[in-house]
C-alpha cells in the first residue's frame, strides 16, 4: 500500500448493501459508509446516461414491476448519489466489493463513474477478494472477522488507469442492446480484475435458455421444487448453495419466484408470497429479508415439462424484462446457449 491515508476519519467507504456497510463500520469504527444498494443484474442499464437519470429510470422500472414503493427507492437513490457526488471532500474513497455478480457489477459502475470525474487530491482504492489467506472458506465481506477486515483495509490498493479502462469497456458492454458485446468483453484481457469475467458469464446466464426459456436462476428454483421442497426460504437456501458464487438477495428471489407463479399457465402453484415489511427502510428490494411463507409451493405439470425441455417457458407465457441494455420482449428476444457459450437472437 503506497501513499494511502493511514487515518480512517476522512475516508468514504462504498460497498454493496446495508448489511455489509454496517459490518465494515463496526470493524473499522470510523469513516463514512455508503451502501450502493442496486441489484444491477436486474433492470435497465443505459451506459450513456448520467447517474441521476439512470437512477430515475431504474427506480421507475422497479416501481412499475411492483417490487418496491416509488417514494422509498427514489429517496434512497437520491441520498446515495448525493453522498457520492461529495467525494472530493474525502481524502480517499475505498471500494469494498465481493467477487459475486452483484458486487462486480456495482464495482464496474462506480469505477466507470469515477473514471469520468476528476479525482484531484482524492485517492480511489479497492478491496475485492474471493478468498482470504488462512481461511478454509470465504463467503462474503459481511461474514469476515474484525481482524481480517482491518487487515484488508491495510492492504488495499489504489485503482489504476488500466482498471478504469476495463470498467469503462465492461459498463459499455452491459449497456449495449446487443449482448454479444458482453461476450466480446469476456474475451478481452481483464486479468487485473480477475473476478469480472466470471461475473459477466453469470450475467449472461440470466438470459432465457435456448433449450427451455428459463434463466439459470429460474432453473435453480424449479429444480429445488422438483425435489419436493415447498418452503420459500428453504428453496432460496438450496438455490444459493447450487449457485457456485451466490449473488441474489431474497427480495429479488421472491419476485423471480412470484413471476414463475403468474401468467395463464404458471410454473409454480402458490397462493401468496409475502415479504416482511416491518423493517422496509433497512430490508427491501435491494437488501436481504426473510420471506414469510404461508402456503405450500409446488411445481406444476407445466413446470416439470419445461424442466425436461419438452416445453418452452417463454413461448408459453411471453416475456417483458430488462437485462442491462437489452429489452427482452415478444418479437425481439435474446437467448443464451450455455453449451456453445453463445447468445442468439430469436423472435419467440
pLDDT in tens, 276-312: 544 444 434 445 555 555 667 999 999 999 999 999 9
For 200, the grid coordinates are: 459477466
CB 175 within 8 A of CB 324: yes
The residue ranges of every structural domain in the chain are 11-174, 216-313
Q: List alpha helices for the chain, DSSP H.
A: 18-28, 51-64, 70-85, 101-115, 146-154, 161-174, 180-186, 196-204, 216-226, 232-243, 250-260, 301-307, 313-317
* Beta-carbon count within 10 A of 227 CB: 9
CA distances from 216 to 70, 119, 173, 243 (A): 29, 39, 21, 9
CB 297 within 8 A of CB 230: yes
Residue 250 has pLDDT above 50, yes or no: yes
pLDDT in tens, 19-57: 999 999 999 988 999 999 999 999 999 999 999 999 999
> What fold characterizes domain 216-313?
Arc Repressor Mutant, subunit A (1.10.10)
pLDDT in tens, 99-142: 999 999 999 999 999 999 999 999 999 998 755 445 445 568 98
pLDDT band at 201 (very low <50, low <70, confident <90, very high): very high
CATH of 11-174, one of 2.40.260.10, 3.90.650.10, 3.40.1360.10, 3.40.640.10: 3.40.1360.10
Tell me if domain 11-174 and domain 216-313 are identical in fold. Answer: no
pLDDT band at 275 (very low <50, low <70, confident <90, very high): low
Q: How far apart are CA 149 and CA 24, in angstroms?
A: 7
Amino acid at each position: 500500500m503506497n501513499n494511502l491515508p493511514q487515518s480512517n476519519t476522512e475516508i468514504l467507504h462504498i460497498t454493496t448493501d446495508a448489511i455489509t456497510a454496517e459490518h465494515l463500520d463496526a470493524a473499522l469504527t470510523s469513516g463514512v459508509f455508503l451502501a450502493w444498494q442496486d441489484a444491477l443484474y436486474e433492470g435497465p442499464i443505459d451506459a450513456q446516461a448520467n447517474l441521476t437519470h439512470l437512477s430515475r429510470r431504474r427506480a421507475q422500472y422497479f416501481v412499475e414491476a411492483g417490487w418496491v414503493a416509488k417514494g422509498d427507492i427514489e429517496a434512497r437513490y437520491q441520498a446515495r448519489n448525493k453522498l457520492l457526488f461529495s467525494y472530493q471532500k474525502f481524502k480517499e474513497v475505498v471500494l469494498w466489493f465481493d467477487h459475486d455478480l452483484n458486487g462486480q457489477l456495482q464495482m464496474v459502475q462506480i469505477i466507470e463513474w469515477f473514471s469520468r470525474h476528476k479525482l484531484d487530491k482524492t485517492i480511489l482504492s479497492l478491496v475485492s477478494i474471493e478468498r482470504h489467506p488462512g481461511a478454509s472458506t470465504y463467503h462474503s465481506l459481511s461474514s469476515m472477522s474484525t481482524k481480517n477486515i482491518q487487515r484488508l483495509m491495510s492492504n488495499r490498493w489504489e485503482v489504476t488507469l488500466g482498471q478504469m479502462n476495463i470498467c469503462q469497456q465492461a459498463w459499455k458492454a452491459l449497456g449495449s442492446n446487443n449482448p454479444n458485446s458482453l461476450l466480446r468483453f469476456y474475451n478481452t484481457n481483464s486479468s487485473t480484475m480477475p473476478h469480472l469475467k466470471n461475473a459477466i458469464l453469470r450475467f449472461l446466464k440470466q438470459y432465457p435458455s435456448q433449450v427451455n426459456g428459463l434463466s439459470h436462476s429460474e432453473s435453480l428454483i424449479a429444480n429445488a421444487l422438483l425435489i419436493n421442497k415447498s418452503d420459500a426460504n428453504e428453496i432460496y437456501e438450496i438455490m444459493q448453495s447450487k449457485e457456485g458464487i451466490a449473488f441474489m438477495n431474497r427480495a429479488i428471489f421472491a419476485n423471480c419466484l412470484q413471476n414463475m407463479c403468474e401468467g395463464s399457465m404458471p410454473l409454480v402453484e402458490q397462493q401468496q408470497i409475502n415479504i416482511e415489511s416491518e423493517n422496509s427502510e433497512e430490508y427491501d428490494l435491494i437488501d436481504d429479508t426473510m420471506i414469510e411463507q404461508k402456503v405450500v409451493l409446488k411445481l406444476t405439470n407445466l413446470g416439470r415439462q419445461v424442466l425436461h425441455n419438452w416445453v418452452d417457458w417463454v413461448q408459453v407465457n411471453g416475456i417483458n424484462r430488462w437485462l442491462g441494455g437489452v429489452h427482452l420482449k415478444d418479437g425481439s428476444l435474446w437467448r443464451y446457449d450455455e453449451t456453445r457459450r453463445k447468445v442468439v437472437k430469436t423472435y419467440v
